């Protein structure tokens, strides 16, 4: 698909092939095992770090490759060949959700202690924003941080945290001013070996089983001032800024994952016989395939358009929100019909289509729900109040 987009150069294609080969040869053979175990080894981060996959668009001086958003696009699309959306999500949290803000506003010391080992895969990162009472409403977080000398004392709880059980550090949102809804949130780089920190439990989800999603607890956790990320009280605005990259890679990987299922379905329809001909011989099924290809191409083009704006530094919250909204809706619709076209084979657990169907539902919730995306869009177009 990408050959029609001039932004992808030979170097991007080489990177794309390297990621795809790794996903197919090193990850996909373990898909059933890791999904059943509801976990994948931490060594995957280290292996991907050694290959340069975790720092594709981070500066060379930090151990990255100095690439652009199109390298991230290649990673987000090709890692889906592993047939494990949970692993894909865990890796993209490492590369594009928990660490970009460190690169953008972190100090030299913070980058050396946290970002560089995340790029190499030696440290695993998580993003700690959501709480039991504050998911989409980021400004409603209550996990508190009060000053005690030059240290912050953190108390509270986080939930729905990807990589939560295995993270070495958390890019953590805390409230440093109880009376300031938007200006009272601060970002902190939080090492998980800090006394008082604990993992409550690993949450059981409908899908994305091999990705660990956890409840986290903070009880009088002492963090030094040097771990504050950016300016105190600016955390809400940093999070909103960080969400753009998160939502963009979600749209890109979600569309690519749906394309994988559609490609598999086309093969199935050409192989499966019924009533004296292949299923691909039925016009009604061919037309459904044509519609799905069209829907995914539209989703991909919108995501690529948003990526192009993002790469050039053009404000694109509207386009990214649209891309995520469309990717979540189209992807789920396509995969649902692919399951239908597989019949009983699509409904059994040992098949990848059933797993993809479960996994795909998350994109309409995680990183901002469909409803939040629509609110952003109507504000951007100046409609309503």
CB burial of residue 106 (10 Å; 0-12, 13-18, 19+)? buried
List of residues 6+ apart from 171 with CB closer than 8 A = 98, 99, 101, 102, 125, 126, 127, 128, 187, 189, 190, 229
Residue 259 sits at φ, ψ, to 5 deg, of -65, -40
CB burial of residue 155 (10 Å; 0-12, 13-18, 19+)? middle
3-class state of residue 299 by DSSP: helix
Q: Do 117 and 123 touch, CB atoms closer than 8 A?
A: yes
What are the residues facing 151 on neighbouring strands?
148, 224
Q: Any idea what DSSP says for residue 185?
A: E
Based on the residue annotation, tell me whether 231 is a catalytic residue of this protein: no
Catalytic-labelled residue, pool 112, 246, 267, 297? 246
Tokens of 294: 């069209």
Residues acting as catalytic residues? 246
């Amino acid at each position: 698909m990408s050959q029609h987009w001039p932004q992808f150069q030979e170097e991007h294609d080489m990177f794309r092939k390297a990621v795809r080969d790794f996903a197919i040869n090193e990850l996909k053979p373990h898909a059933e095992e890791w999904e059943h175990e509801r976990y994948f080894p931490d060594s995957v981060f280290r292996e991907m770090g050694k290959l340069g996959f975790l720092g594709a668009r981070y500066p060379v001086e930090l151990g990255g490759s100095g690439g652009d958003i199109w390298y991230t696009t290649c990673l987000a699309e090709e890692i889906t060949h592993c047939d494990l959306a949970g692993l894909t999500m865990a890796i993209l949290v490492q590369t594009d959700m928990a660490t970009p803000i460190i690169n953008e506003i972190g100090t030299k010391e913070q980058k050396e202690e946290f970002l560089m080992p995340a790029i190499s895969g030696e440290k695993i990162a998580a993003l700690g924003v959501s709480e039991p009472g504050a998911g989409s409403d980021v400004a409603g977080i209550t996990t508190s941080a009060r000053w005690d000398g030059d240290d912050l004392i953190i108390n509270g709880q986080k939930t729905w945290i990807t990589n939560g059980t295995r993270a070495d550090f958390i890019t953590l949102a805390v409230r440093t001013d109880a009376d300031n809804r938007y200006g009272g949130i601060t970002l902190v780089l939080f090492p998980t070996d800090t006394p008082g920190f604990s993992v409550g439990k690993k949450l059981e989800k409908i899908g994305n089983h091999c990705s660990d999603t956890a409840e986290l607890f903070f009880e009088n956790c002492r963090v030094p001032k040097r771990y504050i990320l950016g300016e105190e009280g600016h955390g809400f605005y940093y999070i909103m800024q960080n969400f753009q990259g998160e939502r963009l890679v979600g749209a890109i990987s979600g569309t690519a994952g749906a394309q994988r299922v559609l490609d598999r379905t086309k093969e199935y329809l050409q192989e499966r016989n019924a009533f004296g001909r292949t299923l691909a011989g039925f016009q009604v099924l061919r037309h459904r395939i044509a519609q799905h290809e069209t829907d995914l191409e539209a989703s991909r083009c919108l995501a690529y358009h948003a990526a192009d704006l993002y790469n050039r530094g053009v404000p694109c919250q509207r386009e990214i929100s649209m891309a995520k909204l469309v990717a979540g809706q189209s992807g789920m619709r396509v995969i649902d019909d692919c399951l239908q076209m597989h019949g009983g084979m699509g409904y059994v657990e040992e098949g990848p289509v059933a797993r993809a169907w479960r996994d795909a539902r998350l994109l309409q919730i995680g990183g901002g729900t469909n409803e939040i995306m629509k609110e952003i869009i109507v504000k951007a177009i100046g409609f309503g109040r």
